[in-house]
């Protein structure tokens, strides 16, 4: 299939962007072509990446997916530096809100094709209109409550919107891998397909959506995402402030534990 390249497609280290002649854009998360480990550089770059994707009217359908059989399986916490520093967290706060708002501002149908682990920032997938997941796909929340941090970056907003508040709270307070079939029963996943087939099924759905006039496609996405977009604008900035306070407290506790630990000389 012929592909078309825009001038921003090669601008982002961990987001491979390809678009075919019909306007279907595939945004693939990756680290050097393999499974994606999320870093602070990606957090910064994704603000612009999703803004540009939303701005580009040559994108007729957007498919979010991951490389190497996973969606987003891991995160490099150390890359974010000292999150107890207000200046550091101010940047995390601003970027975190803008990433989700820019994803919500994509004004064409969005499909998430999930294989393997969606264990970090699964809220990105839940901002799609439709999630297609491989049979072995799992959803998780590695970075937050189990690690001592408030899940305030939009993951509660999106999961409570898609699955219901009670399920979201239980999922985030006792995070365990959630299988694709269960996520389908909860109404989060639209279709469960054989392993390795999520992206091909997403392409089929994209081709189906393209049969509808463009204004209808765009306005339907705008209409469908609006209630969730309202919640993102209302909740995520506040949630990230709470998350930042908990992150600072966690760093403080870790530093205190380090100071109390006996030195090698004391042990000797």
Tell me what the mean pLDDT of segment 2-13 comes to.
Answer: 87
Which residue reads 């949630």 in tokens?
239
Is the confidence at residue 3, as pLDDT, over 90? no
pLDDT at 21: 97
Identify the domain containing residue 234 by its residue range.
Answer: 3-267
CB atoms near residue 85 (< 10 Å):
12
Confidence band (pLDDT; 50, 70, 90) for 258? Answer: confident
At 73-95, the pLDDT tens digits run 999 999 999 999 999 999 999 99
Render pLDDT for 206-217 as a digit per residue (tens, 0 to 9).
999 999 999 999
**Residue 260 scores a pLDDT above 80:** no
- Say which CATH number the domain at 23 has: 3.90.226.10
pLDDT reported for residue 262: 63
| φ and ψ at residue 139, rounded to 5 degrees | -110, 145
Residue showing tokens 């409550």:
145
Task: Write out the catalytic residue numbers.
Answer: 123
pTM of the model: 0.94
More confident position, 6 or 7: 7
Residue 111, H or E segment: strand 110-114
pLDDT of residue 2: 65
Q: What is the torsional sign of CA 114, 118, 124, 128?
A: positive
* Tens-place pLDDT, residues 187-208: 999 999 999 999 999 999 999 9
How many percent of the chain have pLDDT more than 90? 90
Residue 264 has pLDDT above 60, yes or no: no
Mean pLDDT to the nearest integer, 131-152: 96
Tell me how far apart the alpha carbons of residues 12 and 17 are, in angstroms, rounded to a whole number: 9
Q: Tell me how many domains the chain contains.
A: 1
Rounded distance between C-alpha atoms, residue 206 and residue 61, angstroms: 6
Is the pLDDT at 154 greater than 70? The verdict is: yes
């Amino acid at each position: 299939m012929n592909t078309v390249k825009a001038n921003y497609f090669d601008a982002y280290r961990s987001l491979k962007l390809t678009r075919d002649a019909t306007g279907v854009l595939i945004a693939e998360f990756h680290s050097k072509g393999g499974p994606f480990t999320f870093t602070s550089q990606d957090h910064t770059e994704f603000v612009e990446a999703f803004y540009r994707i939303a701005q580009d009217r040559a994108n007729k359908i957007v498919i979010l997916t991951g490389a190497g059989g996973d969606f987003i399986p891991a995160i490099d916490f150390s890359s974010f530096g000292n999150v107890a520093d207000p200046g550091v967290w101010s940047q995390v706060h601003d970027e975190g809100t803008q990433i989700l708002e820019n994803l919500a501002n994509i004004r064409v149908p969005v499909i998430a094709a999930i294989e393997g682990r969606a264990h970090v920032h699964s809220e990105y997938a839940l901002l799609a209109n439709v999630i297609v997941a491989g049979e072995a796909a799992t959803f998780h929340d590695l970075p937050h409550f189990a690690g001592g941090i408030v899940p305030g970056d939009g993951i509660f907003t999106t999961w409570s919107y898609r699955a219901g508040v009670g399920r979201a709270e239980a999922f985030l307070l006792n995070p365990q891998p959630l299988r694709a079939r269960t996520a389908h029963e909860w109404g989060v996943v639209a279709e469960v397909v054989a392993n390795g087939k999520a992206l091909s099924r997403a392409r089929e759905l994209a081709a189906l959506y393209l049969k509808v006039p463009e204004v209808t496609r765009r306005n339907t996405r705008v209409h469908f995402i609006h209630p969730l977009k309202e919640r993102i604008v209302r909740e995520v900035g506040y949630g990230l402030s709470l998350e930042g306070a908990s992150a600072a407290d966690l760093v403080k506790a870790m530093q205190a534990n380090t100071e109390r630990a006996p030195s090698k000389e004391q042990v000797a």
